Amino acid sequence: MVTYFKQAYIEISTFIAKALEKLNLEEVEKFVKSLEDAYKTNKKILVVGVGRSGLVGRAFAMRLRHLGARSYVIGETITPSVEEGDLVVAISGSGATQIIVAVAEAAKKMKAKVVAVTSYYDSPLARLADLVVYVPGRTKLASMDDYFARQILGIHEPLSPLGTLFEDTAMVFLDAVIAELMKRLGKNESEMAKRHANIEIP
């Protein structure tokens, strides 16, 4: 009964806590400043990610909207076109997700600024980006050779499979960015609550 739950909980939360030491605060400052500038100049902030990274991106775009930013999620039917000076936040642990790289390429052609949130500086997405923000995480499956080696040595697979560590860390990272932005813009929770959805789908 929930044999691995506590172990997994500790593994994930410990990784997120230790990830703070690996973040480059200069990158974080540049990222926050980019968001602040986009807000103050009324530029659009467009967020993109696929799979679970996409869900993290949606949560981030939602909080930006609560702050009063013109935030959108790329791929949604109501998302407007990307224009010069807009800010595109691309989230991909591997930095090699084809759809995300293609979006970044298209955004660059439109003269938008691209921020890559990724675990790999040397990735197609990072090479395209104007700013790379490193967020650590285990983003790749072990190879088959690694798998058999683990079995022989009695080493078990981690309890945070696939991109879980990147996605969870990125979620906390982006929520912390929102907190910083909230203070810089002089926003408070009651003001944000006014922009929260007041019609919910049951």
C-alpha distance across the termini of the chain, in Å = 32
**Which of 167, 180, 189, 191 does the annotation list as catalytic?**
167
What are the tokens at 93?
């642990």
**167 classed as catalytic:** yes
Do residues 63 and 89 make contact, with C-beta atoms less than 8 angstroms apart? Answer: no
Using CB atoms within 10 Å of the CB of residue 7, give its burial: 0 to 12 exposed, 13 to 18 middle, 19+ buried: exposed
The C-alpha atoms of residue 136 and residue 118 are separated, in whole angstroms, by 8
Residues labelled as active-site residues: 167
